[in-house]
């Protein structure tokens, strides 16, 4: 960085940078030592924030004293590999029917590819991230969602002990959403549901969903119907009347459960916006949708 002469004009934009730093300071103080669970979806990974930029944001959160936990999906990536293998995918109510072969593919993609990519991107900045799945240390106890969906799971319980230990060591857990039942049978679980359950278990300050839309809309086809703030009861009503649909339903349900379970705020943000997490947490400019009790 080059500086101007003593007493001379400051570089262009310096005032804006200083204003943002002053604006961020009270938020940095407020969220120091707070747990923030960030769900980095497969759609955000494919079409939203570049992985390197996301990793920088997560490392910055940790550097200013926030305790981030990353939970990731990988639906598009699973679909791509299944297609390359010539396997036809069937969906029911938005969920992928998962037989034993599909479960193997899901585990390979989520644990062996997506998880490792995120961990590696974070660890470019130092030995910070630790990858794990819900099967590790019995983090997520799972059960079958419905028999007709095969090995699609639902969260029966979360033992956050391993996450608390990692956070206490200043590390960043990165969680792939494969869980296991009491007999060791693995299940692929919706990442939105897992993120909400983990946030609730940890008593997180915030639960943040990064996706490829601007937030929650009362009319999915109308960008002007974006909802900036909503209570859990209002959001529950929107789901009940069908105002939200598709992949937004599990996010909405996870937000409702989390804020009613002790999480202070939940956010649905557009992962395509550069540094969306930082803008939401550390500035007065809110983006996306915020859900409160």
Q: Residue 178: pLDDT above 60?
A: yes
User: Does residue 175 carry a pLDDT above 90?
Assistant: yes
CA distance 11 to 94: 52
Fold of domain 25-292 = Carbamate kinase (3.40.1160)
Compute the distance between CA of residue 117 and CA of residue 124 in angstroms, rounded to an integer: 11
Cβ neighbour number for residue 204 with a 10 Å cutoff: 27
Question: Is the pLDDT confidence value at 282 over 50?
Answer: yes
Q: What is the pLDDT of residue 3?
A: 46
Q: Rounded to whole angstroms, how far apart are CA atoms 276 and 287?
A: 8
Q: What is the pLDDT of residues 229-277, one digit of tens each?
A: 999 999 998 888 877 766 788 899 999 999 999 999 999 998 888 899 9
Q: What is the pLDDT of residue 222?
A: 79
pLDDT of residue 137: 97
pLDDT digits (tens, 9 = 90+) for 129-161: 999 999 999 999 999 999 999 999 999 999 999
Q: How confident is the model at residue 12 (pLDDT cuts 50, 70, 90)?
A: very low
Predicted local confidence at residue 2, as pLDDT: 44
Q: What is the mean pLDDT of the chain?
A: 89
CA-to-CA distance for 96 and 74, rounded, in angstroms? 12
Q: Identify the residue whose tokens are 């989520």.
A: 110
3-state helix, strand, coil in the chain (%, to 5): 45, 25, 35
Indicate the DSSP class of residue 190.
-
Q: What's the rounded mean pLDDT across residues 65-78?
A: 95
pLDDT (average), residues 118-124: 96
**189 contact partners, CB below 8 Å, separation of at least 6:** 134, 140, 142, 152, 153, 154, 155, 177, 178, 179
Mean pLDDT of 116-135: 97
Cα–Cα distance between 93 and 191 in angstroms, integer? Answer: 16
**Of 33-42, 91-100, 156-165, 169-178, which range is least confident?**
91-100
What's the chain's Rg over C-alpha atoms? 20
Write down the domain spans for the chain.
25-292
76/230 Cα distance (integer angstroms): 29
Length of the chain: 293
* Phi, psi (deg, nearest 5) at residue 168: -65, -25
What confidence score (pLDDT) does residue 1 get? 42
Does residue 8 register a pLDDT over 60?
no
pLDDT at 128 (0 to 100): 98
19-50 per-position pLDDT tens digit: 878 888 999 999 999 999 999 976 666 655 68
| CA 242 – CA 219 distance, rounded (Å) | 9
Q: Report phi then psi at 279, rounded to 5.
A: -60, -45
Q: How far is CA 158 from the centre of its chain?
A: 17
């Amino acid at each position: 960085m080059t500086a101007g002469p003593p007493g001379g004009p400051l570089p262009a934009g310096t005032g804006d940078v200083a204003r943002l730093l002053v604006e961020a300071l009270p938020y940095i103080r407020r969220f120091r030592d707070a747990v923030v669970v960030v769900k980095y979806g497969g759609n955000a990974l494919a079409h939203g924030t570049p992985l390197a930029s996301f990793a920088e944001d997560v490392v910055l959160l940790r550097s200013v004293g926030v305790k981030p936990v990353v939970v990731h999906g990988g639906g598009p990536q699973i679909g791509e590999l299944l297609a390359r293998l010539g396997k036809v995918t069937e969906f029911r109510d938005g969920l992928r029917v998962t037989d034993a072969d599909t479960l193997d593919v899901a585990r390979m993609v989520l644990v062996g590819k997506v998880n490792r990519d995120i961990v590696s991107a974070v660890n470019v900045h130092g030995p910070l991230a630790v990858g794990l799945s819900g099967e590790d240390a019995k983090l997520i106890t799972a059960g079958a969602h419905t028999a007709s969906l095969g090995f699609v799971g639902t969260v029966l319980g979360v033992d956050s002990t391993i996450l608390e230990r990692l956070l206490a060591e200043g590390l960043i857990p990165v969680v792939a959403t494969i869980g296991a039942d009491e007999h060791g049978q693995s299940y692929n679980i919706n990442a939105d549901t897992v993120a909400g359950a983990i946030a609730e278990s940890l008593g997180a300050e915030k639960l943040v969903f990064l996706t490829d839309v601007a937030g929650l809309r009362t009319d999915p086809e109308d960008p002007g119907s974006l909802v900036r703030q909503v209570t859990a009861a209002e959001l529950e009503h929107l789901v009940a009347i069908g105002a939200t649909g598709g992949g937004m339903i599990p996010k909405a349900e996870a937000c409702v459960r989390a804020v009613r379970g002790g999480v202070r705020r939940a956010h649905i943000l557009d992962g395509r916006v550069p540094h969306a997490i930082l803008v939401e947490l550390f500035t007065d400019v809110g983006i996306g949708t915020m859900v409160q009790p």
